Chains A and B, each alone.
Chain A
Amino acid sequence: MEIKDVENLANLARIELTEEEKKDLLSDMESILGYVKQIEEVKIEDAELDYKVHNVWREDEIIPRDFSRELITDQFPDAQDGFLKVKKIL
């Protein structure tokens, strides 16, 4: 792994990093990945790859919930006329 790989990951994750942070993260990542790499050696035979997952459905019915519109809109970093305001994306 190199600094440019850390930069690429940070871009994918939308996180701004300083040069120093990049260096620190590079050495941390190398040490952690070095440790987790041991899974390469593990041989899995006859493992039943059954995650025991199933869909959980519920009836599509209206259940009134006690939500305060104000509590939600008060959290908006920027708002106009009660609507969330964001920068233009196009």
Chain B
Amino acid sequence: MIDLNTLTIKEARKKLDAKEFSAVDLASVYLAEIEKKNKELNAYLEVFDDVLEQAKVADEMIAKGESYPLLGIPLAIKDNILIQGRKVSAASKMLENYVASYDATVIVKLKKQGAIFLGRTNTDEFAMGGSTENSAYGVTKNPHDTSRVAGGSSGGSVVAVAANMALGALGSDTGGSVREPASFCGIVGMKPTYGRVSRYGLISMGSSLDCIGSIAKNTTDAKIIYDSIYGNDVLDSTSITESAYPKFSAKKIIGVPWDLVNGEGIDPKVKENFKQSIEKLENLGFEIKDISIKNLDISLAIYYIIMPAEASTNLARFDGVRYGLHKEGKNLLEDYMLTKGKGFGKEVRRRILLGTYVLSAGYYDAYYGKAQNIRSALREQFNKTFQDVDIVATPTSPIPAWKIGEKSDPLSMYLADIFTITANIVGVPAISVPSGFMEIEEKKLPLGIQFMAPHGAEEMLFEVSQKFEAMI
């Protein structure tokens, strides 16, 4: 009997190598679990029909004495990462029947290890959202309270792991899309330094912000996935090398931007939980320092200029000519208009128009130019901050998972990104780790704490995260 509640990637590796169970046994248990739960939770958009064949190949590799950290480990893949020969739709009608013609670099790396791909998971359309409510294929529900959202945009990947429908997962994080759902569902989500993990084969949203991140039950597992996918890649020109950033020496000081944490719009219970977490870190021997980062509160505003600008440019490629949805009009222009009008959902259209606006002549300098300047200054501020502290800690989200349909005004949903956005704006690695629960309507909803580390200091990020996790 395989107990999925307590199983981790690390444990499964040992048991697979010791032949306590086979990769086929393990995959079968997960498939049965998906069969039971996916209808209600809607984490998977598609469960692949060759999972057991993949597992057989893994078993053959194990029989030959091969062992890799992810050999035979069943993973869920967000529906915006390309796997050759398989459908990938970015949860959009635009790409409903699109079949990937090549493997993303992260997929190549996972395949080499013999990892098992269970299926592709739900997301906000083109990863645009924080709740998975913007998917063209229905919302993903939170396993802790099915009347609430799972978070997003990597909601499907996170729920797959949180509800034991996968042992680990890949997501993408442009403004918190791995960390925020991880905090809503009580698991670990990690976003690397910008450029550390190749974006080749990830459907682009905001190219200067997008990162592929790992999703797992605990920090050790998240690190195992990260260790398997990072590395320089010639196919991604923004990919960085090992020596891109100087090695960081830890001082055991954690900085907390209390001015932001004590700001408006933060749930008092979230704040209380965060304060308790900070006390735990003090008990672990960390010095806690009150820090103030200039313009930190403005990062959300510049994000909602830069991201739509980049997204509107990236999504211009979906025109119904070479692949994806095609709607027939009287002439080529009408083909474009109809295809984009029918193919893109509401939030995607909103962001394309917003991006078109901030990039248009007459507004470019005031919006996009100014936002880029502030972004540079903020990055500088962060570098200065990390001369004094190792880690910057905040709650992951100012509020717990909200009710499905509760946030109909887009701006109110954007405000939930207040703490996660900055790591993407300045490009530093960040992780969300479970920090406890808060009770609403007799349901216990998970909360998370976020740690941000200097560029390239993933190792230290994992270390602090592991220490904190041991205290919870």
Task: Tell me whether A68 and B340 are in contact (CB under 8 A).
Answer: no
Q: Which of A12, A31, A76, A78 contacts B356 (CB 8 A)?
A: A12
Q: Does B85 contact A (CB under 8 A)?
A: yes
Inside 8 A of A74's CB, which chain B residues have their CB? 99
Task: Tell me whether B410 and A77 are in contact (CB under 8 A).
Answer: no
Inside 8 A of A39's CB, which chain B residues have their CB? 298, 301-302, 305, 367, 370-371, 374
Q: Does A16 contact B (CB under 8 A)?
A: yes
- B326 to A, closest residue via Cβ: A77
> Which of B238, B239, B356 gathers the greatest number of chain A CB atoms within 10 Å?
B356
Q: Does A71 contact B (CB under 8 A)?
A: yes
Task: Tell me whether A14 and B340 are in contact (CB under 8 A).
Answer: yes
Q: A56-90 vs B: 1/0 string, CB under 8 Å? A: 10100000011110011011111000001011110
Alpha-carbon distance between A70 and B84 when the two chains are bound, in angstroms: 12
Inside 8 A of B470's CB, which chain A residues have their CB? none
Q: B84-108 vs A: 1/0 string, CB under 8 Å? A: 1100000000000011111000000
Q: B241-261 vs A: 1/0 string, CB under 8 Å? A: 000000000000000000000
Q: Does B319 contact A (CB under 8 A)?
A: yes
Alpha-carbon distance between A26 and B360 when the two chains are bound, in angstroms: 17
Alpha-carbon distance between A27 and B237 when the two chains are bound, in angstroms: 38
Inside 8 A of A72's CB, which chain B residues have their CB? 101
Inside 8 A of B338's CB, which chain A residues have their CB? 16
Task: Tell me whether B332 and A13 are in contact (CB under 8 A).
Answer: no
Q: Which of B239, B305, B326, B370 contacts A78 (CB 8 A)?
A: B326
Inside 8 A of B349's CB, which chain A residues have their CB? 15, 17, 21, 25
Inside 8 A of B319's CB, which chain A residues have their CB? 14
Task: Tell me whether A12 and B360 are in contact (CB under 8 A).
Answer: yes
Q: Does B214 contact A (CB under 8 A)?
A: no
Task: Tell me whether B333 and A14 are in contact (CB under 8 A).
Answer: yes
CB distance from B364 to the nearest CB of A (A): 13
Task: Tell me whether A42 and B304 are in contact (CB under 8 A).
Answer: no
Q: How many residues of A contact B (CB 8 A)?
A: 47
Given A16-B341, A67-B102, also A48-B376 (CB < 8 A): yes
Q: Does B335 contact A (CB under 8 A)?
A: yes
Alpha-carbon distance between A76 and B295 when the two chains are bound, in angstroms: 47
Q: Does B18 contact A (CB under 8 A)?
A: no
Task: Tell me whether A86 and B99 are in contact (CB under 8 A).
Answer: no
Inside 8 A of A21's CB, which chain B residues have their CB? 346, 349
By secondary structure, the B interface counts as helix
Alpha-carbon distance between A47 and B409 when the two chains are bound, in angstroms: 34
- Chain B: interface size category: 35 or more
Given A12-B360, A87-B335, also A36-B312 (CB < 8 A): no
Task: Tell me whether B357 and A76 are in contact (CB under 8 A).
Answer: no
CB distance from A71 to the nearest CB of B (A): 4
Alpha-carbon distance between A12 and B337 when the two chains are bound, in angstroms: 10
Inside 8 A of B84's CB, which chain A residues have their CB? 68, 71
Q: Which of B101, B102, B238, B411 contacts A31 (CB 8 A)?
A: B411
Inside 8 A of B353's CB, which chain A residues have their CB? 6, 9-10, 13, 15, 25, 29
- A84 to B, closest residue via Cβ: B322
Inside 8 A of A6's CB, which chain B residues have their CB? 353
CB distance from B319 to the nearest CB of A (A): 7
Task: Tell me whether A13 and B340 are in contact (CB under 8 A).
Answer: yes
Inside 8 A of B410's CB, which chain A residues have their CB? 28, 31-32
- B84 to A, closest residue via Cβ: A71
Given A9-B353, A47-B377, also A68-B298 (CB < 8 A): no
Q: Does B366 contact A (CB under 8 A)?
A: yes
13 interchain pairs (CB within 8 A)?
A: A6-B353, A13-B316, A25-B350, A32-B354, A32-B411, A40-B366, A42-B370, A44-B374, A47-B376, A56-B239, A67-B102, A71-B85, A84-B321
17 other contacts beyond A9-B360, A51-B376, with CB at 8 A cut-off?
Answer: A13-B340, A13-B353, A21-B349, A31-B411, A32-B350, A35-B301, A35-B411, A36-B301, A36-B304, A39-B298, A47-B374, A68-B85, A71-B85, A74-B99, A77-B326, A78-B326, A87-B331
Query: Which 6 A-B pairs have CB atoms at the shortest separation, nearest pair first?
Result: A16-B341, A77-B326, A75-B323, A47-B377, A16-B337, A14-B336
The interface of chain B, by Cβ under 8 A from chain A, is: 84-85, 98-102, 234, 237-239, 295, 298, 301-302, 304-305, 312, 316, 319-324, 326, 331-333, 335-338, 340-342, 344, 346, 349-350, 352-354, 356-357, 360, 366-367, 370-374, 376-377, 380, 409-411, 414
